[in-house]
Structure 1
Amino acid sequence: MSVLVFVEGLNGEIKNSSLEAASYGSQVATALGATATAVAIGDVNEAALARLGEQGISKVLFDADARLKQFVADAYVAVIAAAAQKENAKVLVFSNTGIGATVGSKLAVRLNGSLATNVTTLPKTEGGTFTVTRSVFSGKAFADVELTADVKIIAVKKNAIDISRNSGNTATVENFSASLADADFAVAPKETVMQDSEGGILLPEAERVVSGGRGLKGPENWHLVEDLAKAIGAATACSKPVSDQDWRPHHEHVGQTGITISPNLYIAIGISGAIQHLAGVNSSKVIVVINKDPEAPFFKAADYGIVGDAFEVVPKLIEAAKALDK
């Protein structure tokens, strides 16, 4: 038996969220006395796959079918189900991304398995049970969930697991090919799942995010967000009112009805901090708020706050960031 981890690639490399999933999966395997195997799909560098050994993965099944370079949910489900059958995997681990959550839920139906998303802890297996803790209510509470089916599927919340493990090992990369039918590619891909920000960084995967709200007064001032993002290597985002007014594209909208993100650093410029917005960003490790209204509710959730005019504060931050980079 093995624990099977699905790892996602981006520009040939493994996404950080998938490295977290790999670390999680290998620790689960150790606790269960099993082996940790990964499955990778599409355009991923084999050297990057081999480095999954540093996270405790012993083997990687790699399906390099060119048709899989673009995400197609049913095709991905078919590949991962075939890999799970080959490895007799009873625990499947994903990162809780748009792709991971989509594929995980479909696999739960296909394999008649139990599914837990937004998982934040390793499973507890005392007394023959299999219980995980997951984040609920937009991160405001936690729930313990027992997975009772024979196949257990876990989607790990970003930034919940340490990826600093380094066993010094190299994973064996094995060519793997699932039998895919034309029907597996019949449903068009969801483009929004894979949408990059204009800075070229995939927003759900970004370690740093700079976001703007109506306090910037208009789209003509968005260069402040873009220039600061470029200076610190961040993705750009926006609040819902900004996307509703077509100042920015909707795929940059973060919040309860947009994208949920968990970066290491989130900088909010001119955003009041309505509860709907906080629901999408409150898992960020560090939140910095810039707002001229000292009563803005966002300050209550911020780790650091600057009360001031964005048009005066942000240029100084950009200048300081550029100076540090010299």
Structure 2
Amino acid sequence: MTNSNLIALSLADRWTGFWQGSMGIWILERGVPIALYLIGGLLAARFINWAARRVVRRIDAEYQESDQLVRTESAKHRQAVASVISWVSVALLFVIVIMQVTSILAIPVGSLVAPAAVLGAALGFGAQRLVQDLLSGFFIITEKQYGFGDLVSLTVAGIALPAEGTVEDVTLRVTKLRSSEGEMFTIPNGQIVKTVNLSKDWARAVIDIPVPTSADLNVVNDVLHGVAEKAMEDPGLRALLLDAPQLMGVESIELDTVNLRMVARTLPGKQFEVGRRIRVLVVRALRRAGIVSPTDGRTPMVEAIVHPATSGGAEDETQGPPEERK
């Protein structure tokens, strides 16, 4: 028998002896099943996340391919529920994997009762905010307070200014908003004190129109009523409006301006676009009617104001316009 054969037999004996030893038996009986559970859990988690993303993409595709201008409430709710189901499913999956691993390792559950009680009490104090976030997220989703794509304003505890933006993700723990400037806000659900949904069912565009106090309000009202009728004839605006804009009348009076208010009921989340378009129509209509905004008129200079004491007699040289002074 050659040396190479002897070496091969020696290695084979050692390899067989290793697997027949305590370490080899532990790897075969416990290590391999544990590895299979861990690998299977990771693959299952990836599959769950992939399925959730596929559902979300399908909902997005239905919206993009349809002629709808806004997402339906059911579509928003389905997307939120899909993300929550995937999150909960992954959490339960890892709990099951951990239980199976402890069972394979033959860890007695009874001996873990006392440490688990102490650990649970410690986590109870430390995880109060987490539990609060989860409960708040549960009620946000079940009550359909807002969903994916909604424009919301959230009052957060400890912050003076509300967080405003478009909802990009809702889970049981956090809500993610994208602001108009592109910033991403991640807000724990338990910290949300008040929710204002700006795109729920319908919205209202509010347009304040300042006109000079010298303007004839009857003429201004006629012009604005014409703008309201023209808005319903505009193809771009008609698709966004639920009914014709209404002129509410004088909203406030200031020193040199009178503010009139016009309101329009719009599709959810379209109030800002409608407001911008109507303002353009209002400015053009007022200019055609010869009604200028207060900032378009000239403000008299102090030198041009005639003093009452000199208004009846000869004009003081210091009171006339600069170009008339000698």
- Could you tell me the TM-score, scaled by structure 1's length? 0.30
Q: Which has the higher contact order (CA 8 A, sep 6+)?
A: 1
Q: TM-score with structure 2 length normalisation? A: 0.30
> Per residue, is there more strand in 1 or in 2?
1
